[in-house]
Chain A
Amino acid sequence: MARQPDIRKAYHFELAQLGDQILTMGSMVDKALERSMDALARRDVDQARQVVADDSFINAKRMGIEDGAVILLATQQPMASDLRFITSVEHIATDLERMGDHARSISRLSVKLCAEPPMRSVNEFPRMVASCRQRLRLALDAFIERDADKALACARQDSELDQLQDDVYDLMLSTMEKDGSTIVRATYLLWIAHNLERVGDHITNVCERVIYLAKGRREELDEE
């Protein structure tokens, strides 16, 4: 295959393009996550609003990827691993879009939080975002390399996010108990933690897709 003249050059080019599109979308989501958290930390309303507005680009990207996938399916009759690749691309694009939505939600909450008096910073948030970004990168690496082991390793890291979310939950509960005036703010922060945890779940979904892509069989990873 490697040395043979590629008689379906355009087809293979388009397949590679689909992969590139997923990486591009991944980068958009990564930046949205990073910026939403940065806006929250610096109480930067403008940046938070920008993240909310930029989500439409992520959604548009997903549509573009879906169209590309459908056209390939319709015109090239892909088989076996190519077929799995194209269907996986569609699913991963959906998961990425949902992650973008969570970044948007975080930014919306940031805008609301900026109207409230400042509260002590939550050290778990930078760690949660770092975990999300690192895992997203790892999952997309696994996707490009079709590496099931990498995807599995990435999926297993989800427990860290769950743990951090629980920590935020405890912290916020005790804050609210101590000082009733913090209830509104603490609730917003709880939602932010929840959104980050959901991002982690979508990354796990991507990992499942990658394993399906690499091995041709589905593995449910949520149990662990």
Chain B
Amino acid sequence: MKIDLHVVVGALISVTWFVGQWFLSAVGRAPGADPLPMAMSDPAWALLTGSVGLALGAFGAFVVYRTDQGRQAAAREAFAVSARQLRQSVRYAVEATSPDLMYSDAPASALVASRLPEEAEPLAEALVDVALTLETHRESVARERVRVRQTLASIAEGLIISSEEGRVAAVNPEAARLLDLPGDGSSLVGQSLVTAVRDYEVTETLIKAIETRGPVTRHVRLSPFSTMGEPSMARRATSVRLVKVSAVPFASQGRLPSDVGVGSSRRTSGVGAGVIFLEDETELRRSESIRRDFVANVSHELRTPLASLKALVETLEEGALDDPPAAREFLRLMHVEVDSLTQLVFELLELSQIESGQAEMEKRPVAPITLLETAYRRLRTQATRAGIDLRLAAEHALPMISADPMRVGQVLLNLLQNAIKFTPEGGVVTLTASRDGGGIRFGVTDTGIGISREDLTRLFERFFKVDQSRASGGTGLGLAIAKHLVQAHGGVIGAYSLGEGHGSTVWFVLPQSGEGAALVNQKAQVASQTRGALASGDDGDGTPSIAVPGVPATPATP
């Protein structure tokens, strides 16, 4: 301000000076006037002083003008800054409510409380209040979201929520697993349900539910691609999942574009808001069918000897009693049938005891060779009678194993009896024992009829008989019992064959005696027990399993 006044005064003086000089010089030149001193009347002087004055005035005016403009610019700048900050504050406040920024780390209040011009302070305070409220809401919504996500993830059922527009609103990991979706499925949120799920039976369940405005349930067989190429049918079958799909529609508040349909009220697909539940029933169905098969098998096995007993009794009643030699023969036949019934009931009881873990194992350190020799001695005569060369081939100085000698002996006898039964005259049956990782591998190899690939997968099932006719006798429980006995010892059992007519080998591995022995494979054992007859030592393909008990190599206890 001060400068301005000086300049204006200066400019006025200059202008006055210039005009005065110009006037004086004009008078001085007039005819008859007193001549003025030369210097004063010189027009060059007047021009010079006038110019200086003019320059000073112009400078003053310029300074005044600049100052004014600067102030305006500064004001404009200040206004712009405050407006920007206000805008930003508002944006932060708005963004705080936006779910997209739900997980941004910066608290909204801090952003809003950034520097503001004084004029905006009341507004800023109001905004900070709003932001704080929003932040509280935001936090609670975020907490809620995490809780919902955790809940979804912890649900044992698969779950997909579809939005009004037929897009995936939420999907949990179990649903992703069952439907073979990428990752835990969270990347699919926002995609069209049909594109994401790619299983028309699942999406159609929801469409039906929306159409009927009520829950709809159906059973769907899902077969993932990953294992489709497996040549092994058994392995392929295990990847097929039987899933119960239930869909419940959400109450609709008017559907998106149906009112503005393209010249036709026909809806091409009716995916809308709702929730789909997926329940894996594979194990349930499998155990159901195993139970059904078991009951059917037991009744069949019981009925056959009972029917022949009844026939024999009836024949005796109808007069055979009066023919003593015939009666004696009938009695002998009845004895055979009763024996086989007794054997069946005995084996069933034993199997259920071992399976339920009630059978007591009297484990103690045993030399493998002792077990082999006992079995060998007991069956040598039977083998010789059948014209079979029974051989014993065990490694020297094998470490002791921890086992119930009675039970393992029973397994060996069982395997040997099978081998002798299915090997024609002139064949060879070899009993072997060797080190295998941390355990001892026992094997019974024959040169008999062999086992087909399909049969290998079912060999250890209850009541499975390679020979479906009753010609070869047996209850079909022997190998199932053997499997459970071996598993009760923490071992694994398996079989392989080079094909029909090329003999076969049934093997089992038992852990060495030692501190770690008791812990062996407990997990696998429990798992296989719960899965019942489906679990067997072989991997479903006939090739020997490589699952060898993970026993630490401890020195054999004497």
**Residue A84 at the chain B interface, CB threshold 8 Å:** no
Instruction: For A130, list chain B residues within 8 Å (CB).
Output: 225, 228-229
Instruction: For A10, list chain B residues within 8 Å (CB).
Output: 257, 260-262
Contact call A24/B194, Cβ cutoff below 8 A: yes
Contact call B269/A24, Cβ cutoff below 8 A: yes
Contact call A20/B264, Cβ cutoff below 8 A: no
Contact call A64/B223, Cβ cutoff below 8 A: no
CA distance A130 to B454 in the complex (A): 21
**Residue B286 at the chain A interface, CB threshold 8 Å:** no
**Residue A198 at the chain B interface, CB threshold 8 Å:** no
CA distance A38 to B198 in the complex (A): 20
Binary flags per residue of A9-49, CB closer than 8 Å to B gives 1, else 0: 11101101111110111111001001100100110000000
Instruction: For B260, list chain A residues within 8 Å (CB).
Output: 9-10
Least Cβ–Cβ distance between A7 and chain B, in angstroms: 11
Contact call A27/B268, Cβ cutoff below 8 A: no
CA distance A76 to B260 in the complex (A): 13
Interface residues on B, range: 20 to 34
CA distance A127 to B260 in the complex (A): 47
Q: How many A-B residue pairs have CB under 8 A?
A: 87
Least Cβ–Cβ distance between A33 and chain B, in angstroms: 10
Secondary structure call for the B interface: loop
CA distance A28 to B198 in the complex (A): 10
Contact call A21/B228, Cβ cutoff below 8 A: no
Contact call B192/A16, Cβ cutoff below 8 A: yes
Contact call A9/B257, Cβ cutoff below 8 A: yes
Contact call B262/A137, Cβ cutoff below 8 A: no
Contact call A28/B200, Cβ cutoff below 8 A: yes
Instruction: For A59, list chain B residues within 8 Å (CB).
Output: none
**Residue A129 at the chain B interface, CB threshold 8 Å:** yes
Instruction: For B269, list chain A residues within 8 Å (CB).
Output: 17, 20-21, 24
Instruction: For A72, list chain B residues within 8 Å (CB).
Output: 262
**Residue A216 at the chain B interface, CB threshold 8 Å:** no
Instruction: For A121, list chain B residues within 8 Å (CB).
Output: 231, 233
**Residue A200 at the chain B interface, CB threshold 8 Å:** no
Instruction: For B201, list chain A residues within 8 Å (CB).
Output: 27, 31
B229: contacting residue among A23, A75, A131, CB under 8 A: A131
Which residues of B (252-303) have their CB < 8 Å from a CB of A? 256-257, 260-264, 266, 268-269, 271
A13: contacting residue among B223, B233, B257, CB under 8 A: B257
A42 nearest CB neighbor, chain B only? B233
Contact call A17/B198, Cβ cutoff below 8 A: no
**Residue B211 at the chain A interface, CB threshold 8 Å:** no
A71/B236 contact (C-beta < 8 A), A9-B257, A21-B269, A127-B229 known: no
CA distance A126 to B231 in the complex (A): 6
Instruction: For B203, list chain A residues within 8 Å (CB).
Output: 24
A133/B228 contact (C-beta < 8 A), A17-B269, A28-B200, A75-B263 known: yes
A137 nearest CB neighbor, chain B only? B225
CA distance A76 to B262 in the complex (A): 8
Binary flags per residue of A57-101, CB closer than 8 Å to B gives 1, else 0: 000000010011001101110000000000000000000000000
CA distance A121 to B453 in the complex (A): 10
Contact call B257/A133, Cβ cutoff below 8 A: no
Contact call A18/B268, Cβ cutoff below 8 A: yes
CA distance A23 to B196 in the complex (A): 10
Residue from A28, A127, A130 with most neighbouring chain B CB atoms (10 Å): A130
CA distance A109 to B33 in the complex (A): 141
**Residue B77 at the chain A interface, CB threshold 8 Å:** no
A125 nearest CB neighbor, chain B only? B231
Instruction: For A137, list chain B residues within 8 Å (CB).
Output: 198, 225
Residue from B203, B223, B230 with most neighbouring chain A CB atoms (10 Å): B223
Contact call B262/A133, Cβ cutoff below 8 A: no
Instruction: For A28, list chain B residues within 8 Å (CB).
Output: 200
Least Cβ–Cβ distance between A40 and chain B, in angstroms: 11
B196 nearest CB neighbor, chain A only? A23
**Residue A181 at the chain B interface, CB threshold 8 Å:** no
Contact call A126/B229, Cβ cutoff below 8 A: yes
**Residue A4 at the chain B interface, CB threshold 8 Å:** no
Contact call B262/A38, Cβ cutoff below 8 A: no
Report, nearest first, the 10 A-B pairs whose CB atoms are least far apart: A130-B229, A130-B228, A27-B200, A20-B194, A123-B231, A17-B268, A10-B260, A10-B257, A75-B263, A24-B200
Given contacts A27-B199, A64-B268, A123-B231, 12 further A-B contacts (CB under 8 A): A13-B257, A14-B257, A14-B268, A16-B192, A28-B200, A31-B200, A31-B201, A34-B228, A42-B233, A126-B230, A133-B225, A137-B198
